[in-house]
Amino acid sequence: MAAGAVPVTAQSSLPVATVSGIDAAAAAVLNSTGVPSASVAVVSGGKIAYVKAYGMARLEPAMAAEPGMQYSIGSVSKQFTAAMALLLVQDGKLKLDDSVGKYLPELTRAGDVTVLQVLSMTSGYQDFWPEDYVMTSMMVPATPQHILDVWGKKPLDFEPGTEWQYSNTNYVIAGRIVEIVGGKPLIEQLQERIFRPLKMAGVFNSDASRLPESDPTGYYQHALGPLRPAPQEGAGWMFAAGELAMPASDLALWNISLMNRTLLAPSSYDEMFTEMKLKDGKGTGYGLGVEVGVREGRKYVAHSGEVSGFVSMNLVFPDDKVAVTVLTNEDASSAAGALARKIAPLVLQSESAGVDDPAAKAAEQRALGIFTGLQEGKIDRSQLTALCDAYFTAEALGDFSSSLKPLGAPHSFTQVSAEKRGGMMFRSFTADFGGRQARVTTYEEPDGKLEQYLVIAPGS
């Protein structure tokens, strides 16, 4: 075990066939995506039933992944911020229908937005980090107040309560309200009210400092190039929206508390797990800090997370007393979600399914044109924002060209999803090369310029 790892050993009380299936799924996903490692924890029957790590936590010097290692969990952190707010509601210090202006009057239309709308992503505050890479502006330290001064004072993206749009800014607002009401830093309140009672001993505040060398290194790629150590966000950027790191087994303890409703009051769990409805009655698929819904007739509570170098997936079936946690150490990859979706039916004995979105031909042609240029190490910088332009360094262009040119011309280039986020349009495309695929993701500003253009490894 690495020196700083939490003392957790691989364990299983699952049937041999299920364990074999999980091991095979992990091997397949790591092989197809190239993600260095995955740390897995499974809850079955309301108890931790499986804990194991796969692959390499660090490539140079080589260090195998171990189940006690702490991985950054990104936006899975949001449900802890939401739970802390609900504990303050139970204390009588906070109300969900309080206006944001009661605590942060300087924010845009603070008197018209409620704490509930902030926690449920229906406030209209614009996302400060929708991109899937770390811009140069985020590599320097910041404070939650800086984020609020910039993004919390922009015009709202929509009228409060009329739309749902994912926004990290909401949880910076929520975290500051928790600090104001609770009278202590958020991380101290989380330790006192949640982590210590649940014996989550491996929680680490990765927003304050980089993970120790005894824990995994986070990686990223330029297009399909070599894995490189991911840049670190400047301290202060993640705060209440994605500041936590921990072993998968600690998230499993949290998941058990969710399904058994042991930490919060019953009414608080009802609030957290109830789908937020918009003013027109439409559902959002989101509660307070968690996605909620029904899959194969089973209720689930879930959330994914991503920060530089790490992606996570936490999936809970509360009525079935089953949960799956997968933590990985490469950003902009769907390996964590893919592995969780493979593991869940092995434990639940059911299948899961997905839905594709329709194609947008104009966007496909534009993205394909950029892709073709990158194969030659060229990019039309007039199409890029300043931050995206800064991302495409000489090193990046070299990696894009050397890894993409050997693939040749795509047989097809298809948009598979599109959604608004952070005041931009996010699009995901699949490029098929006849048996081999790559994924392309873009963020487009209202003026048409691209804030992001990433090419992600086949199968990720």
Please, which pLDDT band fits residue 296 given cuts at 50, 70 and 90?
Answer: low
Q: CB under 8 Å, gap of 24 or more: what pairs does 157-160 form?
A: 157/124, 157/125, 157/126, 157/420, 157/423, 158/124, 159/124, 160/109, 160/112, 160/113, 160/114, 160/117, 160/122, 160/123, 160/124
Please, which pLDDT band fits residue 352 given cuts at 50, 70 and 90?
Answer: very low
CA distance 313 to 325: 6
Asked if pLDDT for residue 291 goes beyond 50, the answer is yes
Q: Which helix (H) or strand (E) holds 432?
A: strand 424-432
Average confidence (pLDDT) over 394-420? 90
Average confidence (pLDDT) over 375-399? 97
CA distance 230 to 216: 11
Structure tokens at 186: 């958020």
Q: What percent of the chain has pLDDT over 70?
A: 95
**Picking from 253-262, 281-290, 342-351, 372-381, which range would have the lowest pLDDT averaged per residue?**
342-351
CA distance 55 to 76: 22
| pLDDT for the residue 349 | 64
Asked if pLDDT for residue 346 goes beyond 70, the answer is yes
350 vs 138 pLDDT, higher one: 138
Q: Which helix (H) or strand (E) holds 48?
A: strand 47-58
What backbone torsions phi and psi does residue 9 show, to the nearest 5 degrees? -110, 155
CB 129 within 8 A of CB 166: no
Asked if pLDDT for residue 121 goes beyond 70, the answer is yes
| pLDDT for the residue 355 | 34
For tokens 């029904």, the residue is 294
Average confidence (pLDDT) over 108-132? 97
| pLDDT for the residue 8 | 78
| pLDDT for the residue 3 | 44
Highest mean pLDDT among 39-43, 353-357, 434-438 belongs to: 39-43
Residue-wise pLDDT for 262-281, tens only, equals 999 999 999 999 999 999 99
Average confidence (pLDDT) over 385-396? 97
CB 203 within 8 A of CB 265: no
Residue-wise pLDDT for 141-188, tens only, equals 999 999 999 999 999 999 999 999 999 999 999 999 999 999 999 999
61: preceding bond cis by omega (within 30 degrees): yes
CB 87 within 8 A of CB 264: yes
What is the residue-averaged pLDDT of the chain? 93
Average confidence (pLDDT) over 295-308? 91
Q: Can you list the positions of beta strands (E) in 263-337?
A: 291-295, 298-307, 310-317, 322-328
| pLDDT for the residue 430 | 84
Structure tokens at 306: 């991503």
**Coil, helix or strand at residue 248:** helix
CB 173 within 8 A of CB 153: no
